[in-house]
Structures are given as C-alpha cells and as structure tokens.
Structure 1
Amino acid sequence: MPPTNFIFILADDLGYADLGCTGARDAIAATPNLDEMARQGMLFTSGYSNSPVCSPTRFALATGRWQYRLRGAAEEPLSKKTLGDKILGLPPEHPTLASLLRGAGYRTALIGKWHLGYPPDFGPRKSGYDYFFGLHSGGVDYFSHADTRGVHDLWENESPTHCDGYMTDLLSRKAVEFIGQQDRSRGFLLSLHYTAPHWPWETRNDRPESRRIGTAIHHLDGGALATYRQMVREMDEGIGELLRALEARGLAENTLMVFTSDNGGERYSDNWPFIGQKMDLLEGGIRVPLLARWPRMIRPESVSTTPVITMDWVATMLAVAGVQPDPAYPLDGIDLQPLLEDPAWRPDRNLYWRMKHRSQRALLHQGWKYLSMDGHEYLFDLSADQREKANQAKREPRLLQELRSAWLAWNATMPPIPQDAGVSLVYNETMLPRPTY
C-alpha cells in the first residue's frame, strides 16, 4: 500500500462559528467547501488550539510538544524586536513533523505563514521542509506583501519573490500546484498555513484599500463584517480547488486532511457560543473549528465531542506514517487514530494552558474547566455552561483544589515563563475589551 499523505490547513484568527458546519449565523454560509469536507469526514466540536495566540500554537504544531518547552513560544508575536535574534525561534536541531517525515522519504512543503523565527538562524527549510513559499512574519498586506515594518515578506525558499496577486489566492494556487506534482509512489506533507482571515481586512477586490493604508496593516480604522466573511469565503474557495486537485490526481482516498485555526477569533470573528477571543484562555480564545477528512479511515458525517489539541496531530501523522518520534524529544500530543475510527473514544488525560498576559491558567478535565485570570479563580462545568458564566468554585471546593493542584504539578514540569517574555500591545488596541466577572 502506498504511504498515506498529509495536508494540514491552518487558518489565522478564525472564530469557532465562522464555518457553516460549526454554526455560522449567515443566511448564506461562506464555507461550502469546508462544510462538504466536514460531511465527508469528522467534525470535532471540542477542538482546542495549544494557545490563544499565534506563534505558540505553531511551535506545538511543528514539534508535537507543549510549546512551553521552547523559549521562543513565550514571545508573542515574534516580531520587530526579535529580528536577528538567535534564541527566539524554532531551533533547527529540534525534530519536527516535517523533518521526521522527510527523513522517512516524504516530500514536505510549507505554503503560507511560518512565524517561528527569522532568517538566517531560523526558517522552514531549516526545520524539515523541502519547499517553502510564504512569509516569515506574523502578518502582511494581502497585496503589497509587506509586513508591519513596510518590508516585503514573500519568499520562495530562501529568495524573495515578487508575485502580483492577493495573498490568499497565491497560497491556494501554490498548494494546488504542489498537489499536481505528486503521485502515489511517495508520500507528502503539505502544510498550508493561510494568513486569512487575519488583519488587514482586505478581500481580493480591496487593492485600493491596501494602497490607502500603506504600512498601517494593523488596520485599526478598517474592516467590516461583510469584508471579513468574504475573506473567509475566498479562503474556502481555494480549499475547494485543493480538494478537486486531490481527486484529479487520485490522491483523495489516501490523504489525511485536517483543517483548523491557530487560535480563537479576533475583531470580526464569530466565536459563538463561547465568550472571550484571541489572547484569552476563555473558550472563545482556544476552542477552534476542527475538521478531518480521510476517506480510507474516517466515516462520513462523523462528529466527535472528545477534546483534542493541536499538537495531537503530530503524534497522529507520525503514527499513521509508521515513523518513530525522536526519543530525546518525547511527544506530548497523542495518536488520535482510535478517535478517527470511533468518534466516541475518549482518552483519560487533562489539557493545560498558561499565558503571561493577565496571569492566565487553564486546565480541562472530564468536562470541567479550571481557570485563573487576573488572580481570580473559576470552575466551570462546560457540559452545562459553555459560556463560562456559572462559577462553581464555591460549590465544588474539593474539585477546585484538585484541579488547581493538577495544574501546579503540570506547570512544575515546564520551564518557567521568562521574566522578559513580551506580548505585543497591538492586541489590546485591535480587540474588544475582555469579559469581566
């Protein structure tokens, strides 16, 4: 049997309810292709990101390990002050999903956003990817392809490339082109990491808006709900082209394809029914859309409520490929193959998060969530209270103590958050005020 292929599609700042299949409240759903992907595979209603911010989740996705193990993941974003830094990035010597699969004969490509450290010390091709087309920074203008400093940031391998076009469409076309080069004899990993629907708020018809804002791509004075939804729709159209390319090459049956977001939604996103957003360990910041399609294993129209987290897909894909992780870097994620066969499968484990911003802590245990924020503790029964409004801390003091102790025990196994780790103030400028209790 030929090796299984892998496609991992990562949206940027997509809200939980921004897809039709996850509850979009549009009269006309913006995501027919992703909705069809869900019908053909599995919808995970309890998909979690490793972090409520971008780069830390990407560290976990690359390594299959708690991002807290790496210094670079404590910094968000990896931006202006980290240029040329030899510490803040994904160390080339650290094994990754891409490097381990490449070592087993897979062809590997990252198309889209890297955001795990800057050249010359870091980069996709130093961490296991044969081919790279995309950006190193956290966000660029969709037309000028300039970052927040006004510097051009679109690359093909190690060379800057000046392609005219809308970033989402450029990434989709490169992904389709990559698929067109594959056959059944050699497995591949395609990491397709869109910048959509991250700011600036530009659809493929908004080139004049791009010229107006220039280097102010945080776009504090721009955007609209209709613009945001169109950005999601245009990403969905590219994913539809990718699905059709897989069918045309006869690769669909033997390809595990996953779609999710790096964290919860931002300004124009719909995180319903959850509260909170990007930067928060409330459900709106870490509960994300998650779909998987693999016709050879996953039954159509499957739905799972089992909590899974970004880094699990590294363990899963390596196990499917028959590739052993590096014993010096043991994985923290788990193999989800039993869940792909049986949506009711539920492993006995806790999920953990921490965030320097607002001194946040969170733990998920059998439907209960321990949350600490700004020095205040909360206990929520997510099975009955998805909106995290009914604090059970006083009603369940023993459980509160148990989960607090479990979080502290886990945290003691992680490196401490460095005192000099920073969080960009731009998030405070661009998003709504945080919920208060």
Structure 2
Amino acid sequence: MNKPNIILINCDDLGYGDLGCYGSKLNDTPNIDKLSEEGIKFTNFYMASPVCSPSRAAMLTGCYPPRISFGSFDDNRNVLFPGSPTGLNPNEITIANQVKSAGYNTKIIGKWHCGDQKEFLPTNYGFDSYYGIPYSNDMGRSVIPEDGSGGSFGPIDEETRSRREKFPPLPLISDNEVIQEQPDQAGITERYVEESIKFIRKNKKQPFFLYLAHMYVHLPLYAPERFINNSRNGRYGAAVSGIDWSTAMILDELKKLDLDENTLIIFTSDNGSNTRNNGSNAPLRGKKQETYEGGQRVPMIMKWPKKIPANSTSDELVSSIDFFRTISSILGIKIDNKNKIDSLDFSNVMYSPINSKSPRETFFYYKQNNLEAVRNKKWKLHQQKDGKKVSELYNLENDISEKNNVYEKYPEIVLELQKLLDECAKELGDEFSDIQGTDIRLPGKVENPSTLTSFDPNSPYYAPMYDIPDWG
C-alpha cells in the first residue's frame, strides 16, 4: 500500500454552525462544503476540552487532558500563557512521533499552544519543522481601552488587565527561532498557506504529515480587506472565508501535483465558538469554555478518494483523541506507548460509514480537571457546572440542543451514567469531588521559564500595539 499523505487542518474556535455544510447561512464556505461532498462529515465529533491548550495536547497524544496533567495550568489557568514553566511532557508520544516512525516527513504550521519554552516547542515532539505563532494571537501587545472594555468581551477585571498589559510582543517562529515580533495578523493565513505549499512541494515524492493549525477564528479578528469587503458576516465571516480560501489553495496544490488521491485530509476545530461576533454553534447549547455540546462538539470532515465514500455522513460518536489510534491503524504502525492512552480506532467508520459502528460508546467532558459530564450512546448526564452540582440528563438523539432535562424521568439511566462518571473519576480524577486520579502523568516543567520575546521600544515593529481590543 502506498502510504497516504496526511493533512490535519485544525481551526481555532470555529463553531459547529459556522460552515455551510453544517447549516450556516451567514458564512460562505464553498470549498469546505465541497470537501464535505467529496468525503465524510461527522455530526457527533468531540474535542476533548472546550479550550485550546488541553484540546490540542489531547488530540496529539490520544489522551483525555487530565491523564497527561493538561487540564489546568499555573495558578489554575485554563490555558497556557507566554512564559509558562509548564508544557507537554516530552516523554509523551504524539501523532507526529507515530508517523515519523513510519518514514514520514512532518511539519506543523500555525498554533502550537502546548508550551513556549525551548524544551516544549514542536520539534521536540516528532515534528521536523515548525512555522507559526506558538500560542493564541490575542497574547501579544494590544491596546486596552481606558474604560476597561474588551471589544466583544465587555469590561475586564483588574487581574485580566494587569496580565494583558504585561504580554510580550507576539512571536512568529521558524523552527525554534523567532523571525518576527508583532506581525501583521491580516497576512498570517496567507503566510501559513505559502509555507504549507512549500512543504507539500518539497515532499511530493515521499509521505508527509502536515498539521495546519489556523489562527482563525480566534480573536482578535484581523482579515485581508478582500475578505472583509465580500463578507456577509463582518470580520468573523471574513476570517471564515480565509480558512475556506486556504483550504482551496491546498486542495488545488494536491491536485496539480497528482497527490490528491493519496492524501487523507482531516478538517476540524479545537473547540466550539465563543458565539461573539456572530460565531455559531447552532443548533447546540453552550459555547467555548463550557461542557454543553456547543463547547466541544465541532465540525469534522475527512476526505480520502477511493477509500472514504464521497458525500457520506456519520452520526457515530468519535473524538479527536481517537485520531492517534486511527491513524496508526491506517498506516499499520504498532503502538509501543507504554503509557495508557484513551484513543480508539474508528477507521471502520471512515471506510464504511453506513454499515459500521464506532468503537466509542462513552465520552467524558472535562472542564479543566473537573469531570462535569458523560455521554454514553444517546444519553448525556451533567453532574456539575463551574463548581456547582447539577442534575441534568438529556437524550441527545432527539434533543441535540439540551433543552429538555429528563433527569427525574429516567433514574435507571442516571444510575448507569453516574457509575461511569465514578469509574472515570477514580482513574483520571475530579477536582470538584476532591478525587485524585490513579493513572495520571506529570506535565513537563522547567525551573527558570522565560518569554520568547521582550519589548524593545526601539524596535521597528509592524504593529507596536494591535489596535483591535478583543480577546478570549
């Protein structure tokens, strides 16, 4: 078998309802819609966290975030910030490590967000090279209005203001070297596309793994003027158009090089939309940072001509943590990981979506290190929300929007799902219940962390201060 090239496209904060093929009437996504028509669209696909650092580490390692101590960070923050002493443990095996063992050339372009110390940059985790902004694009120097407003975020507290005022210049990195500080964010996606095409051309005669982690649609929303002028949904729609255009460019390049039939493309998002600026998780309840469906159920499309049936849809339950074992299975790579992982192989669903069942029947929803909910088949039980106990049961098969709480009506289902929650808490922990997990591993740590950049008032930055005060 010819080893397929693999391109994993991971958007930032793109919601379930933001694409035309998932029901959007506001955003124009003809190229992503075509990708869906030529492949398979998953309607019950979940990221392992409703925020980015845990979500990305989980996807790469095939583990729920608490298993790799990536649920919560310094001072109980929900993501990593510039200069953090914490990162993904270099002993963890990633998808990049796996495919590299099978002779693949590997590259990540875009957002990494698993640590910004030199020990935690992507080239330590199976990636041959890296090009991108290593964390969120709102973690650079930006204006903060005197009244404390934060664009669509609204007023900010003093702690947030103090932290944001101390952010160093936003770095753009090539491998382990900062090549620009405070770059023009409106041009970042075009630069990512250029790097992607250069990598594809360089590796056209050998198998490659490209992980393209978009800046869009994370705030602040900087987009090229053409996309803004053509958007029916303001800057948000323009950013979505940027993703769509970049997808078209990559697909076109694969076709020109006669690589399209031997390339598996995976398209998804790291968590749900924050629902500001007309972002959408419709028809789901909730948003980014929440464990209602809108926080973690996201678009996922796969295309692999002659392997995946075109114009397919799957309602089977799958998760980003399943990429690890599924890709390993497709490539025939043995998993030598001595540490336990949570990944399951759903390649049967890819190949035969009508006749196949996913091996995953259960999915656990963690917010930081708090075990908030569980899904088993069609049932979802919420046991806590933001430090408060709740009792909510939903039948997701006929109540995708989680509007009709049937907790009192099905006590036997509640008991069954509560047992699953209790078993998970024993293994992975639950901070809310003060339970320490029995099978969790330490993150990476350094003793004397530093930021990748520091402000120099004499430096000719393109944007000494970004002028859109929006973040989150």
Q: TM-score, normalised by structure 1?
A: 0.86
* Residue number in structure 2 paired with 1:228: 236
2-side partners of 1:277 and 1:84: how far apart? 26
Which one-letter code corresponds to 1:94 in the other structure?
E
* Residue number in structure 1 paired with 2:157: none
Q: Return the offset for 1:103.
A: 2.1
Q: Does the 8 Å CA contact 1:55/1:115 hold for their aligned counterparts? A: yes
- Tell me which of 351, 365, 375 is aligned to 1:364: 375
Bigger drift between 171-180 and 224-233 goes to: 224-233
Q: Does the 8 Å CA contact 1:108/1:129 hold for their aligned counterparts? A: yes
CA deviation string 1:185-211 (max 9, x = no partner): x211100000100000221239xxxxx
Question: Secondary structure of the residue that 2:131 maps to in structure 1?
Answer: strand
- 1:335 and 2:364 are equivalent in the alignment: no
Question: Secondary structure of the residue that 1:232 maps to in structure 2?
Answer: helix
* Residue number in structure 1 paired with 2:134: 136
Which one-letter code corresponds to 1:67 in the other structure?
P
Q: Does the 8 Å CA contact 2:40/2:303 hold for their aligned counterparts? A: yes
* Residue number in structure 1 paired with 2:458: none
Q: Report the CA distance shift for 1:47/1:129 in structure 2 as closer, same or farther (over 3 A).
A: same
Q: Return the offset for 1:356.
A: 4.3
CA deviation string 1:373-410 (max 9, x = no partner): 22111000011111111111100011111101111111
CA deviation string 1:296-321 (max 9, x = no partner): 31011011000111111111111111
- 1:403 and 2:429 are equivalent in the alignment: no
CA deviation string 1:361-382 (max 9, x = no partner): 1111111111122211100001
Q: Report the CA distance shift for 1:202/1:189 in structure 2 as closer, same or farther (over 3 A).
A: same
Identity within the alignment, %: 30
1-side partners of 2:403 and 2:71: how far apart? 30
1-side partners of 2:429 and 2:372: how far apart? 15
Question: Secondary structure of the residue that 1:318 maps to in structure 2?
Answer: helix
- Tell me which of 264, 268, 285 is aligned to 1:256: 264
Question: Secondary structure of the residue that 2:71 maps to in structure 1?
Answer: helix
Q: Return the offset for 1:73.
A: 3.3
CA deviation string 1:273-312 (max 9, x = no partner): 0110001110111110110001131011011000111111
Q: Report the CA distance shift for 1:89/1:415 in structure 2 as closer, same or farther (over 3 A).
A: farther
Following superposition, which runs of at least 4 residues in structure 1 exceed 6 angstroms of deviation? 141-144
Question: Secondary structure of the residue that 1:62 maps to in structure 2?
Answer: helix
Where structure 1 has 5 or more consecutive residues not aligned to the other structure, the ranges are 207-223, 420-428, 432-437
Q: Does the 8 Å CA contact 1:281/1:360 hold for their aligned counterparts? A: no
Alignment of 1:28-427 (within 5 A): 29-75=27-73, 76-80=78-82, 83-85=83-85, 88-140=86-138, 149-162=167-180, 166-184=187-205, 186-205=206-225, 225-266=233-274, 267=276, 268-344=278-354, 345-346=356-357, 347=359, 349-356=361-368, 361-372=372-383, 373=385, 374-417=388-431
Bigger drift between 147-156 and 166-175 goes to: 147-156
Which one-letter code corresponds to 1:362 in the other structure?
A
Q: Return the offset for 1:127.
A: 0.6
- 1:20 and 2:20 are equivalent in the alignment: yes
CA deviation string 1:250-291 (max 9, x = no partner): 111111110001001012311110110001110111110110
Q: Report the CA distance shift for 1:328/1:141 in structure 2 as closer, same or farther (over 3 A).
A: closer
Aligned residues: 398
Which one-letter code corresponds to 1:68 in the other structure?
P
* Residue number in structure 2 paired with 1:213: none
Q: Return the offset for 1:143.
A: 12
Question: Secondary structure of the residue that 1:109 maps to in structure 2?
Answer: strand
Which one-letter code corresponds to 2:177 in the other structure?
S
1-side partners of 2:425 and 2:371: how far apart? 12
Q: Does the 8 Å CA contact 1:351/1:364 hold for their aligned counterparts? A: yes
2-side partners of 1:132 and 1:276: how far apart? 33
* Residue number in structure 2 paired with 1:217: none
* Residue number in structure 2 paired with 1:426: none
CA deviation string 1:77-112 (max 9, x = no partner): 1004xx251xx2111121111012112211000000
Q: Return the offset for 1:74.
A: 2.2
* Residue number in structure 2 paired with 1:221: none
2-side partners of 1:84 and 1:393: how far apart? 41
1-side partners of 2:280 and 2:120: how far apart? 34
* Residue number in structure 2 paired with 1:9: 9
Question: Secondary structure of the residue that 2:428 maps to in structure 1?
Answer: coil
Question: Secondary structure of the residue that 1:51 maps to in structure 2?
Answer: coil
Q: Larger RCO: Structure 1 or Structure 2 (Cα < 8 Å, ≥ 6 residues apart)? A: 2
Q: Return the offset for 1:225.
A: 4.2
CA deviation string 1:142-192 (max 9, x = no partner): 999xx95141310000111137661111112211121111224x2111000
Q: Does the 8 Å CA contact 2:220/2:471 hold for their aligned counterparts? A: no
Where structure 2 has 5 or more consecutive residues not aligned to the other structure, the ranges are 143-162, 227-231, 435-469
Bigger drift between 273-282 and 175-184 goes to: 175-184
